[in-house]
Amino acid sequence: MNETLHPASGWLMDYACGHLSPAFDIVIATHLLGCAVCRADLQCAERLATEVMFSAGGQAPRLAANDILSSTRAAPDMPGWRPSGGVSGAPDLTALASNYLSLGEPALRWRGVGGGVAVAKLRSSEGDRLWLLRAQPGAVLPRHSHSGSELTVVLQGAYVIDEQIYSVGDLEDADEDVTHQPIVTTRAECLCLAATTGPLKFSGWAARLAQRYLGI
Amino acid sequence: MVWVVLIQAYAGVVLSDMMRKTMSVRRPPEDADILPFPTADEPARLDRAAQERDEETALLVRVREHADSAAFSRLFEMLAPRINSHLRRGGMAPADAENLLQDIFLVVWRKAAMFDAKLASARTWIFTLVRNRRIDLERAAQREQRLIAEYARSDAGAESYEVDLLAQAFGARIGAMLTELPVEQRDVLLKCYVEGKSQREIAIECGLPIGTVKSRARLAFERVRAAFGEGK
């Protein structure tokens, strides 16, 4: 397998242990929806975490099982609870893409960044941001590097960096060591979900200027 | 079920700024009393562990199929103390740990129907419940920036782990496998799994490029995968 199309093991370990911010968590989860290989690896990572949790000796809590059984009769159900489990029966990413697009305004505030590329910020918190990126066929993104991590998962279409094609479900891991210039393939519009830490670092002056107004 | 998370993510889009970045940064435990690592010992322990795992899963299936409160109580007695210790080791206050346990076992009781023994053992399923609940709580607490700053200042983690601690933390089987790893790869696993640090935090703490941490994690994980017999 090509390492560049899947999250590095460290990402899966972080995901398994719950170390990731919401933005990166969602990008990894999206890749997992479409990747059985990484789901198997995630199971390994979770099993290791389980062994660590249960290898230690126990210290009994004051709470008893009966307290819970009696409270369950009194307490209301827990809305909003999201238990985790397997990712079987996952929807395909095309459906996911159209779900995102159907959010529409005002959830998606598309901003053109020139060259047939638009971005919408989905979520932002203390330096970590989640973006939806939409680029016309053949669009060439400005050449840029990063001041932190950038994880991108393709929801629709494809883009090329050097000679590597990233298509639906593929994950690109670019950090401060990477300078890249994604080029969208000419076949279709490309839609990606990307998590970033810290601002991007553009090589060209025009992009740097635009950055000040867009907050990318 | 990641699907559920994603659906919630869409819902959360409008409220995007309410959730804040969380890296579950935790301080190394200060209190020696909450570090009850077991002693690494004989293979008999491994058989016992496997038996326990099967028993737990059978109990959870009884809870799922028959709403069996006796099975639930037994499962609680088997697992709650160790989850409690795990949470305390991570630096959680006793009252918070009890609240979390209560939440988790309420879910075990009510949502047992979601447990699928083909996908995971009872303890792995419950581990994921604990993890997700902890993520929710930490995101609500919004406390990570301060802790990251503390980490950047401290030079904790300069020392390497001893092999003994490794075997204790991971149990004899995994411990034995990991003792064969180069020390720098082993440390990445321990910092992630035992100290609860992300690869980014490990890089900052150790003064290493992120790429170095990633490649160490990748090499270490190959051994983990082999140990669980799930090669690619």
Token reading at B147? 């802790």
Q: What is the pLDDT of residue A99?
A: 80
Give strand pairing partners of A180. Answer: A144
Helix, strand, or coil here: B172?
A: helix
A5, A52, A105: which to substitute to probe chain B, counting the most B Cβ within 10 Å? A52
Q: Does A215 touch chain B (CB under 8 A)?
A: no
With bands split at pLDDT 50, 70 and 90, how would you rate the model's confidence at A66? confident
**Of A35-39, B18-22, B75-79, highest mean pLDDT:** B75-79
pLDDT digits (tens, 9 = 90+) for B84-102: 998 888 788 898 899 999 9
Please say whether the beta carbons of A148 and A158 come within 8 A.
no
Angle between helices B210-227 and B172-179 (to 10 degrees): 130
**Strand order, beta sheet including A111-114:** A111-114, A117-125, A128-135, A190-197, A150-156, A171-174
Of these ranges, A45-54, B76-85, B90-99, the one predicted with the greatest mean pLDDT is B76-85
Highest mean pLDDT of the ranges A42-51, A96-105, B36-45, B143-152: A42-51
ipTM for this prediction:
0.72
Chain B closest-CA separation from residue A104 CA (Å): 11
pTM beyond 0.90: the answer is no
Q: Confidence class of residue B105 from pLDDT cuts 50, 70 and 90? A: very high
B49 Cβ neighbours under 8 A, 6+ residues apart: B171
pLDDT at A52: 82
pLDDT at A146 > cutoff 60: yes
pLDDT tens profile B210-224: 999 999 999 999 988
Q: Which tens digits make up the pLDDT trace of A151-190?
A: 999 999 999 998 899 999 999 998 888 888 899 998 899 9
Res. A79 pLDDT band, cuts 50 70 90: very low
Give the separation between CA B119 and CA A158, rounded to whole angstroms.
32
> Residue A152: its pLDDT value, please?
94
- At B31 the pLDDT is 35
Higher-pLDDT residue of A170 and A114 is: A170
Please tell me the predicted confidence (pLDDT) of residue B127: 92
For chain B positions 92-131, those within 8 Å of chain A (CB to CB) are: 97-98, 101-103, 105-107, 109-111, 114-116, 119-121, 123-125, 127-131
Judged by DSSP in three states, B123 sits in: helix
What is the distance, to the nearest Å, from the Cα of residue A23 to the centroid of all Cα atoms in its chain?
A: 6
What percentage of chain B has pLDDT greater than the value 70? 64
Query: How confident is the model over B163-193, as pLDDT tens digits?
Result: 555 555 566 667 777 778 888 998 898 889 8
Highest mean pLDDT among A60-74, A202-216, B59-73: B59-73
User: Of the ranges A103-117, A167-181, B57-71, B134-148, which one carries the lowest mean pLDDT score?
Assistant: B134-148
Look at chain B and count its residues. Answer: 232
* B212 and A CB contact within 8 Å: no
| Contacting A residues, span 158-177, partner chain B, CB-CB under 8 Å | 175-177
Set of chain B residues whose Cβ sits within 8 Å of the Cβ of A23: 21
Predicted local confidence at residue A216, as pLDDT? 61
Q: Calculate what percentage of chain A has a pLDDT beyond 90.
A: 28
Per-residue model confidence (pLDDT) at position B91 = 82
The mean pLDDT value of chain A amounts to: 81
